[in-house]
Amino acid sequence: MRFPSDLHFRGLAGRMHWPHPSRDTTPIAHRHTSDEDAEVAKATLYVSTVTLVVLLVVLAAIAFGQEAMHWLGVH
């Protein structure tokens, strides 16, 4: 198997590992404001909270189902 000749691993690594730019990239032209960062932080916190609540509900339902099967004598 041959790799294409225009495949540059350093450039691919720079794109895969976003915080560490490769040598041939340009400087960041757009900076986020603190308001935008605050909105992203709030959204992240909201999504994390909703995910945690859904996970707890699912785990409680599984535990209740197992107890119900035990009470009913299902083996």
User: Which one has a higher pLDDT value, 43 or 31?
Assistant: 43
**pTM of this structure:** 0.53
Task: Give residue 16's region: left, alpha or beta (phi > 0; psi -120 to 50).
Answer: alpha
Residues 27-38 pLDDT 10s: 665 677 888 889
Domain boundaries of the chain, sorted by first residue: 49-75
Q: Confidence band (pLDDT; 50, 70, 90) for 45?
A: very high
Mean pLDDT of 42-55: 96
Pairwise CA distance, residues 31 & 28, whole Å: 7
Sequence-distant (≥ 6) Cβ neighbours of residue 13 within 8 angstroms: 22
